[in-house]
Amino acid sequence: MSRKKIAILRGGNSNEYDVSLKTGVSILQNLSEDKYIPLDIFLDKKNVWHVRGVPVSPERALCGVDAVWIALHGASGEDGSIQRMLERFSVPYVGAGAFASMVCFNKELSKNIFEKNGALVPRHTVLKVSDSLEREVQNVFRTFPQPCIVKPVCSGSSVGVSLARSYEELLRGVKEAFQHSPQVLIEEHIRGKEATVGIVDGLRGEALYSLPPVEIIPHHESSFFDFNAKYGGKSEERCPGNFTTEETQELKRLAQVAHTALHLKHFSRSDFIVSRSGIYFIEANSATACGLTAESLLPKSLLAVGIGLPEFVDHVVHQALERRR
């Protein structure tokens, strides 16, 4: 049986460049060279493609490739643009299709879809760039439950996300979030336990295999699971988390609902808050958005059910190759 050539795209021009590099390395290290020929495709911060240190066109880089693993976290990897290009070249890839990727990357659209499927979502509103921005922020502060969470509509890894307790913090947070996205989401701060649940297609004979929920306990220096808490190594992540049997079952069910409703593929990870008033959906992460670094959550939940990254990577690549048929 001939080995399949698998390209890993990493780097890119987003604010998650460093995380993308680490995820790409992890995939390369765990891709079996007995089965596959790994191809490291590096995109610099101007989105120029490189193979073995040499700038090349995407067409040339992808010549002879059997499948692509998109490890480009952030805009260009998650918003559907890379997916559309690969579809034009008829190259199978890991993760959701172009349209589903775009929808999942947009926190407002994904919340609306999830809410239509009967799930709880925090009260939220969206601001756009405007000459009357300060007046609009004042109106939100007067009419919206405080404190609140401010985040870019289209961004990941908690980049540009802040907790606002005052008007000054709200305005500052909105301006910071606009540095990362043309739209800003302001949502009610739900108090409770933070949870994330991974879904893997076709694993262990199940159409949608739910991984055990991870409980995220931010370090006391962080008010929530922000970028520093996520990658600074100070937060505590328990898997399985400290949830009741009923909460665990519901978290797994809701993660499956998110995966299906958003038309995600191969694997995904959805974030929730478990509060006294119910379980709230926060956002979903498509396969492209899921980090596979040492600090990432998905590998920890895989390990909790006895699945190492080599087995997981092999399973996902096999599924991507099936896309060609």
Give per-residue pLDDT as tens, 258-268.
999 999 999 99
Which of 156-170, 179-193, 210-224 shows the lowest mean pLDDT across its residues?
210-224
Q: Which of helix, strand or coil describes residue 268?
A: strand
Full domain range(s) for residue 46? 4-98
Alpha carbon 81 to chain centroid, angstroms: 16
Mean pLDDT over residues 120-141, rounded?
A: 93
| Predicted pLDDT at 231 | 47
In a domain, 215, yes or no: yes
Determine if residue 106 is labeled as part of a ligand binding site.
Answer: no
CATH number, domain at 128? 3.30.1490.20
pLDDT band at 235 (very low <50, low <70, confident <90, very high): confident
* CATH number of residue 20's parent domain: 3.40.50.20
- Nearest-angstrom CA–CA distance, 137 and 184: 11
| Catalytic residue check, 157 | yes
pLDDT of residue 229: 52
Q: Is the pLDDT of residue 158 over 90?
A: no
Tell me whether residue 318 is in a domain.
no
Active-site annotation holder among 20, 76, 222, 296: 296
To the nearest whole number, what is the mean pLDDT of the chain? 92
- Alpha helices, H only, the chain: 17-30, 58-61, 75-78, 81-88, 98-105, 107-116, 133-143, 167-177, 227-231, 245-261, 297-304, 309-322
Catalytic residue among 14, 16, 235, 301: 16
Same domain, 232 and 283: yes
User: Are 294 and 213 members of one domain?
Assistant: yes
Q: Is 5 exposed, middle or buried (0-12, 13-18, 19+ CB in 10 A)?
A: middle
Residue 167, both tokens: 């008007």
- Total number of domains constituting the chain: 3
Catalytic residue among 101, 157, 181, 235: 157
Identify whether 275 is a catalytic site residue.
Answer: no
Are 112 and 247 contained in the same domain? yes
Q: What is the DSSP letter of 203?
A: G
Q: What is the mean pLDDT of residues 142-150?
A: 91
Quick: pLDDT tens for 207-222: 999 999 999 998 665 5
Structure confidence at residue 169 (pLDDT): 95
Domain shared by 110 and 244, yes or no: yes
In a domain? residue 323 = no
pLDDT at 233 over 80: no
What does the DSSP 8-state code read for residue 92?
Answer: -
296 is catalytic: yes
User: DSSP letters along 61-90, please?
Assistant: HTTT-SEEEE---SHHHHSSHHHHHHHHTT
Say whether 285 counts as a known binding-site residue. Answer: yes
